[in-house]
Amino acid sequence: MDIFCRIANKEIKTDLLYEDDLVMAFNDIHPLAPVHVLIIPKEHIESIADLEDEDEKLMGRMIMAAKKIAEDLKIDSSGYKLLFRVKENGGQEVPHIHLHLIGGARLSENIKPIE
Ligand code: AMP
């Protein structure tokens, strides 16, 4: 079982910031910025590349959760990045969909192809 399934099952504790029937959100353990939150589906889906048509509601919920969390953390007016890494070339390390919400500071553009 991947680590985010274990977090969704509450086997591993996190500082939970948001939860509803479909998704949950918690702080990234290695933050890249003052705000770095991960939003995950409770259901196991490996990556964006594995989505089915029926997952449309779930993916909308993930983005709406990110918007609400950004408001709660008061970074909605200053702005933020939302990032999905997808599989190997996308740099995805945990094989369970997660949306990065990154903000709280002006962020450099550091997502470049490897030479
Ligand atoms: P990615 O490279 O897009 O797969 O991102 C995985 C993210 O998960 C990284 O930013 C890690 O720091 C984060 N991460 C891994 N394990 C945990 C954990 N137990 N709690 C919070 N964040 C985690």
Written as one string, the DSSP assignment of 29-81 is SS-SSSEEEEEEESS----GGG--GGGHHHHHHHHHHHHHHHHHTT-TTT-EE
pTM attached to this predicted model: 0.95
pLDDT-flagged residues of the chain (< 70)? 110-115
How far apart CA 20 and CA 66 sit, in angstroms, is 12
Distance 27 CA to ligand 1 centre (A): 9
Q: Which CATH superfamily is domain 1-47+84-92 in?
A: HIT-like (3.30.428.10)
Ligand 1 interacting residues, C-beta cut-off 6 A: 3, 12, 14, 26, 28-30, 38, 85, 91-94
Position 96 scores a pLDDT of: 98
Position 24 scores a pLDDT of: 98
pLDDT tens profile 51-78: 999 999 999 999 999 999 999 999 999 9
Distance 94 CA to ligand 1 centre (A): 7
Report the Cα 96 to chain-centroid distance in Å. Answer: 10
How far apart CA 65 and CA 83 sit, in angstroms, is 14
Q: Tokens for 74, please give them.
A: 């008061």
Helix H or strand E encompassing 90: helix 87-90
Catalytic residue numbers, as ranges: 98
Position 111 scores a pLDDT of: 56
Which atom, in ligand 1's list, is nearest to the CA of 36?
10
How far apart CA 2 and CA 65 sit, in angstroms, is 22
Q: Tokens for 17, please give them.
A: 């910031």
Domain spans in the chain, listed from the N-terminal domain onward: 1-47+84-92
